[in-house]
A = this chain, B = another copy of it.
Amino acid sequence: MNLPSRLMEDAVEAFASLPGIGRKTALRMVLHLLRRDAADVDRFGAAVVRLRREIRFCQTCRNASDADVCSICANPTRNKGMVCVVENIRDLLAIEQTGQYHGRYHVLGGVISPIDGIGPDQLEIASLLERAKAGEIREAIMAVPPTIEGDTTIYYLSNRLEPLGVKVSTIARGVSFGGDLEYVDELTLARSIATRRPYSNAAGPESSNP
């Protein structure tokens, strides 16, 4: 679609670069912004720029934060000895949303995926092992996606965490294979944390040895 203005074209291109937004939806947003108060649109633009420029990542768990330490790590009522290992901030937020977990987190920034060239060095694994070496962690709950890459990551981490005296568990598989944590309903997600099971890499993935 040829737009009558370069300014509109630039704005439509910007919105269409967002996930799940096509040119038609982007145009709808742009026409909406044209009708809005100019000061209001300035605030929109500033919020976007400040988000990216001023966001910090927690030096302990790599969660997004306004300060050096995130609000979860800074909260003295959260269980310091329990760390929930997640792939990304979206999954952390999904678990927080359940209101059923009172430990801390560690955001890996991805999972081990040799096909995509993502090895342990590309992830926040060294920082997790440092936390474990400091004796901070008693139990690590693996809440990574139930995929081959997720299982590989759990296997890799358990081999390194268990010698450091960390009990490794995984969230219960009430979550369907190939599913995105973000879209799981809160009850299932909360239950899967409450019914986590000890991980034993000797037994292989998903064996049930009581």
> Interface on A for B, CB 8 Å cutoff?
1-8, 10-11, 13-14, 17-21, 24-25, 27-34, 36, 38, 41-55, 63-66, 70-72, 88-90, 92-93, 96-97, 182
Contacts and interface: CB of A to CB of B under 8 A. Distances in A.
Contacts of A64: 4-5, 8, 34
Given A5-B55, A8-B64, A64-B4, A90 B28 contact: yes
Main secondary structure of the interface of A (DSSP, over half): helix
A66 B63 CA distance: 42
Given A8-B51, A34-B89, A42-B49, 4 more contacts: A7-B50, A7-B54, A28-B90, A44-B48
A4 B65 contact: yes
Contact of A51 (B2, B30, B96): B30
Given A27-B93, A42-B49, A51-B41, A70 B4 contact: yes
A36 B50 CA distance: 13
A27 B90 contact: yes
